[in-house]
């Protein structure tokens, strides 16, 4: 009799006298765990497999339960089937196509003789709840490909037939049943029964061409979401409403920061106020460059295409670039700074004593994005990065990764962004260089992170074409992940440009090139940061830091003098002298998210004092002007996250 030994994450084992499934493993540990088990990871494969998957002798498993971060992904696979079942029970003439899980939810594409609207949602949700309440057992069968084709053909499900016919290398296909009657083609994973789906909601409906091809039939795409419990769903719906209020495009208009024009698609215009934010962020990074020993450089915008042929961009990135012809020569607009930095490095000889050699560049970049992909500031065609490149030895990679993480952590702390995750993105299919080089660079990144005890998740196949990378995913105030910072290890570009340094042995050696950014694209960062802060920028970053509000025209002279004094201290200040009521002017300043509102009336002018209203609604009266200047000046120079209240002892400070 064969024995199957299955290993758990703590390296303990379970032995079976038959080929077990993940559910069998869970049942051998305890009934509660078995009830909560939703799926499994096998041998550290990032893909979540179905709990019914047969395991092999020696497999190491990680059970995915209702408490796992990945629980909702499995729940949504099954909720998609429940939605499709509900639709077909309500309208048998509707045919189903595909229903994948996406970020924060799922969708199903239907071939329907009528147009779905949100008015249909109540009926669909009611029928879905009936299916959930029945707690139908979900089971998997593996059908021969021919049987599946014949079955779906007889049902009139031509889209399913087309999918299965394209699976030419598969002998069998997975079929999942909800109960005894309704079934669909699927790889899984799925929960044990429909009763495991505790909370769901239909969100929206849109048209979608079959397989994204406009020559194919138009389908009805119904978007929905599902969670392990109702509290999670309620929080998600709250966050969606909050996200509408925080939409950076809306805030950008209201605060007068940026605009777009149809004559320059995907290319933002930053106003005077928006440029303040842009320049202050660059100023923060320049301060950090000085602290972490970077040189700032300036490089050209347009290069002969020979540069991009050498760097590999012409072969691997051509469809994302802009080109022109000058003096019968082909030129390209740079999409990245790295090739020009290679030219800078290669323009002179270098010794090992000079390494690491760190250069930073705020140069303008241009990348062609398809019209449908552009979205406010977060997806544009022209932008600037806090971009830098480090040329170093292999032995210096670890220390440079550590230096990068310290720099990033300090920047994010100053900006009030403490929550981020690290992803190690490995070699893509379309790449430069040998597997040996990729093994070295991927190994260097993982070892450095492990030595620094920095937790990370492997993101297979998502590296740049020239090297693996660390992607820093910032989690914002609404718990949404955004990819901002990055560090990429590249041994291929130095090889392509034949870069070298003279080592201790007096021989030439090839440097390693590290590509890194902390904020990433400034345009994208500003969009993300506006939504994270809901437009309440820190005082040092606010376009207008102080608004002076007069109660009567009699104090205008005092207001003018105070404004001049604040400007001398390089504090950005405006004076609202309009003949409006004070409450109206305060409301206007609050809508503009002004950190400090200074109120001056006859009494204040007589005493040489002011009243200060902060944007959180708190008010401090009888503040001497000298104290006011010191207070605001200190908040700005210290880069505090919020205006301080000197009447409180504890203040939120960025660093």
301 catalytic, yes or no?
no
Quick one: 455 and 400 in the same domain? yes
Q: Is residue 581 part of a domain?
A: yes
Q: Quick one: pLDDT at residue 653?
A: 35
515 catalytic, yes or no?
yes
Q: Are 387 and 362 in contact, with CB atoms under 8 Å apart?
A: yes
Kind and range of the H or E run holding 122: helix 121-133
Q: Is residue 645 part of a domain?
A: no
Q: Are 274 and 264 in contact, with CB atoms under 8 Å apart?
A: no
Quick one: 328 and 214 in the same domain? no
Q: Is the pLDDT of residue 651 over 80?
A: no
Q: Quick one: pLDDT at residue 449?
A: 86
Q: Under DSSP, is residue 115 helix (H, G, I), strand (E, B) or coil?
A: coil
State the greatest distance between any 2 C-alpha atoms of the chain, in Å, as a whole number. 100
Residue 331, CB-side half-sphere exposure with 13 Å CA sphere: 11
Q: Are 294 and 386 in contact, with CB atoms under 8 Å apart?
A: no
Which is catalytic among the residues 385, 488, 592, 642? 385
Quick one: 293 and 205 in the same domain? no
Q: Are 516 and 402 in contact, with CB atoms under 8 Å apart?
A: no
Q: How many CB atoms lie within 10 A of CB 18?
A: 11
Quick one: 58 and 13 in the same domain? yes
Quick one: 297 and 214 in the same domain? no
480 catalytic, yes or no?
no
Quick one: 93 and 145 in the same domain? yes
Mean pLDDT of the 365-379 span:
89
Quick one: 267 and 225 in the same domain? no
Quick one: 326 and 471 in the same domain? yes
Which is catalytic among the residues 410, 469, 516, 615? 469
Q: How many CB atoms lie within 10 A of CB 466?
A: 28
Euclidean distance between CA atoms 460 and 483, whole angstroms:
16
Residues with Cβ < 8 Å from 375, sequence gap 6 or more?
Answer: none
Which is catalytic among the residues 41, 95, 366, 367? 367
Which is catalytic among the residues 50, 111, 386, 387? 387
User: Burial, 10: exposed, middle or buried (Cβ in 10 Å; 0-12, 13-18, 19+)?
Assistant: exposed
Overall domain count for the chain: 4
Q: Is the pLDDT of residue 350 over 70?
A: yes
615 catalytic, yes or no?
no
Q: Is residue 398 part of a domain?
A: yes
Quick one: 525 and 545 in the same domain? no
Q: Quick one: pLDDT at residue 284?
A: 97
Mean pLDDT of the 238-262 span:
93
Q: Are strands 329-333 and 302-304 parallel, antiparallel or unpaired?
A: antiparallel
pLDDT digits (tens, 9 = 90+) for 65-104: 999 988 999 999 999 999 999 999 999 999 999 888 988 8
Euclidean distance between CA atoms 437 and 491, whole angstroms:
7
Q: Report the chain's C-alpha Rg in angstroms.
A: 30
Quick one: 220 and 120 in the same domain? yes
Q: Quick one: pLDDT at residue 652?
A: 40
Euclidean distance between CA atoms 512 and 307, whole angstroms:
19
Q: How confident is the model at residue 120 (pLDDT cuts 50, 70, 90)?
A: very high
Containing structural domain, residue 21? 4-65
Q: Is the pLDDT of residue 451 over 80?
A: yes
Q: Are 214 and 235 in contact, with CB atoms under 8 Å apart?
A: no
Q: Are 651 and 644 in contact, with CB atoms under 8 Å apart?
A: yes
Q: Which residue has the higher pLDDT, 441 or 364?
A: 364
Q: What is the CATH number of the domain that holds 108?
A: 3.30.980.10
What's the first-to-final CA gap in the chain, in angstroms?
Answer: 65
Q: Is residue 654 part of a domain?
A: no
* Residue where one domain finishes, among candidates 65, 84, 99: 65
Q: Are strands 609-614 and 420-425 parallel, antiparallel or unpaired?
A: unpaired
Q: Are 187 and 174 in contact, with CB atoms under 8 Å apart?
A: yes
Euclidean distance between CA atoms 147 and 616, whole angstroms:
66
Buried b (16+ CB within 10 A) or exposed e, 132-162: beeebebbbeebebeebbebbeeeebebbbe
* Residue where one domain finishes, among candidates 182, 207, 238: 238
Q: How confident is the model at residue 400 (pLDDT cuts 50, 70, 90)?
A: very high
Q: Is the pLDDT of residue 228 over 80?
A: yes
For the chain, the average pLDDT equals 91
Euclidean distance between CA atoms 464 and 218, whole angstroms:
35
Q: What is the CATH number of the domain that holds 599?
A: 3.40.50.800
Euclidean distance between CA atoms 494 and 30, whole angstroms:
56
Phi, psi of 439 (to 5 degrees): -60, -45
Q: Are 516 and 389 in contact, with CB atoms under 8 Å apart?
A: yes
Residues with Cβ < 8 Å from 591, sequence gap 6 or more?
Answer: 254
Q: Is the pLDDT of residue 586 over 70?
A: yes
Mean pLDDT of the 635-645 span:
92
Quick one: 295 and 424 in the same domain? yes
590 catalytic, yes or no?
no
Q: Quick one: pLDDT at residue 1?
A: 59
Q: Under DSSP, is residue 262 helix (H, G, I), strand (E, B) or coil?
A: coil
* Residue where one domain finishes, among candidates 502, 533, 564: 533
Q: Is residue 70 part of a domain?
A: no
User: Burial, 484: exposed, middle or buried (Cβ in 10 Å; 0-12, 13-18, 19+)?
Assistant: buried
C-alpha closest to that of 612 among 549, 566, 570: 549
Percent of the chain with pLDDT over 70: 99
Name the least confident of 77-91, 163-177, 499-513, 563-577: 163-177
Q: What is the dihedral of CA 89, 90, 96, 99, to 10 degrees?
A: -90
Q: What is the CATH number of the domain that holds 27?
A: 3.10.20.30
Q: Is residue 410 part of a domain?
A: yes
Q: What is the CATH number of the domain that holds 490?
A: 3.30.930.10
Q: Is the pLDDT of residue 654 over 60?
A: no
Which is catalytic among the residues 338, 342, 392, 559? 338
Q: Is residue 573 part of a domain?
A: yes
Q: How confident is the model at residue 46 (pLDDT cuts 50, 70, 90)?
A: confident
Which pTM value belongs to this model?
A: 0.80
Quick one: 582 and 598 in the same domain? yes
Q: How many CB atoms lie within 10 A of CB 611?
A: 18
Name the least confident of 466-475, 588-597, 624-633: 466-475
C-alpha closest to that of 99 among 82, 117, 116, 118: 82
Annotate 2-47 with DSSP letters as a single string: --EEEE-TTS-EEEESS--BHHHHHHHH-HHHHHHEEEEEETT-SS
Q: Is residue 33 part of a domain?
A: yes
């Amino acid at each position: 009799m064969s024995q199957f030994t299955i290993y758990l994450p703590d390296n303990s084992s379970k032995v079976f006298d038959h080929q077990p499934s993940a559910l069998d493993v869970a049942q051998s540990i305890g009934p509660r765990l078995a009830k909560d088990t939703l799926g499994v990871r096998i041998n550290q494969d990032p893909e979540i497999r179905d709990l019914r998957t047969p395991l092999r002798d020696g497999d190491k498993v990680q059970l995915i339960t209702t408490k796992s971060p990945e629980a909702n992904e499995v729940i949504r696979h099954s909720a998609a089937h429940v939605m499709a079942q509900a639709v077909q029970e309500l309208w048998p003439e509707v045919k189903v196509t595909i229903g994948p899980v996406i970020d924060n939810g799922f969708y199903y594409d239907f071939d329907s003789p009528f147009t779905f609207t949100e008015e249909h949602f109540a009926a669909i949700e009611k029928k879905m709840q009936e299916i959930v309440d029945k707690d139908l057992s979900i089971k998997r069968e593996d059908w021969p490909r021919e049987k599946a084709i014949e079955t779906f053909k007889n049902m009139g499900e031509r889209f399913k037939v087309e999918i299965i016919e394209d699976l030419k290398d598969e002998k069998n296909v997975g079929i999942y049943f909800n109960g005894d009657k309704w079934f669909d083609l699927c790889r899984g994973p799925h929960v044990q029964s429909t009763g495991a789906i505790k909370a769901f909601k239909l969100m929206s409906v849109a048209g979608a061409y079959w397989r994204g091809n406009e020559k194919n039939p138009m389908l009805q795409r119904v978007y929905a979401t599902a969670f392990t419990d109702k509290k999670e769903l309620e929080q998600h719906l709250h966050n969606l409403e909050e996200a509408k209020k925080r939409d950076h495009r809306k805030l950008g208009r209201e605060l007068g920061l940026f605009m777009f024009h149809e004559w320059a698609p995907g290319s933002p215009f930053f106003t005077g106020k928006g440029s303040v934010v842009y320049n202050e962020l660059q100023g923060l990074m320049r301060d950090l460059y000085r602290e972490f020993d970077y040189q700032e450089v300036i490089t050209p915008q347009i290069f002969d295409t020979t540069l991009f042929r050498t760097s590999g961009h012409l072969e691997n990135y051509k469809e994302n670039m802009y080109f022109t012809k000058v003096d019968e020569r082909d030129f390209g607009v740079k999409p990245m700074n790295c090739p020009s930095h290679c030219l800078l490095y290669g323009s002179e000889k270098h010794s090992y004593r000079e390494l690491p050699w760190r250069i930073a560049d705020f140069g303008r970049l241009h990348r062609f994005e398809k019209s449908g992909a552009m979205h406010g500031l977060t997806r544009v065609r022209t932008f600037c990065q806090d971009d830098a490149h480090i040329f170093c030895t292999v032995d210096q990679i670890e220390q440079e990764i550590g230096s990068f993480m310290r720099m990033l952590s300090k920047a994010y702390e100053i900006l009030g962004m403490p929550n981020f995750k690290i992803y190690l993105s490995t070699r893509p299919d379309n790449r430069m260089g040998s597997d040996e080089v990729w093994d070295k660079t991927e190994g260097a990144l993982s070892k450095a992170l492990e030595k620094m005890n920095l937790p990370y998740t492997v993101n297979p196949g998502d590296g740049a074409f020239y090297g693996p990378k660390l992607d820093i995913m910032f989690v914002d105030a609404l718990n949404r992940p955004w990819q901002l910072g990055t560090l990429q290890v590249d041994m291929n570009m130095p090889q392509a440009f034949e870069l070298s340094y003279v080592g201790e042995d007096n021989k030439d050696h090839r440097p390693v090139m590290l590509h890194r950014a902390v904020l990433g694209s400034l345009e994208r960062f500003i969009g993300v940061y506006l939504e994270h802060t809901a437009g309440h920028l820190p005082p040092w970053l606010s376009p207008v830091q102080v608004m002076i509000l007069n109660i009567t025209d009699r104090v205008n002279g005092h207001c003018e003098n105070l404004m001049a004094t604040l400007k001398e201290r390089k504090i950005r200040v405006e004076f609202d002298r309009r003949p409006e009521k004070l409450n109206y002017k305060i409301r206007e300043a609050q809508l503009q998210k002004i950190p400090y509102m200074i109120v001056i009336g006859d009494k204040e002018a007589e005493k040489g004092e002011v009243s200060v209203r902060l944007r959180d609604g708190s008010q401090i009266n009888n503040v001497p002007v000298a104290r006011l200047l010191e207070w605001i000046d200190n908040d700005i120079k210290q880069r505090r996250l919020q205006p301080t209240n000197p009447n409180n002892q504890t203040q939120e400070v960025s660093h």
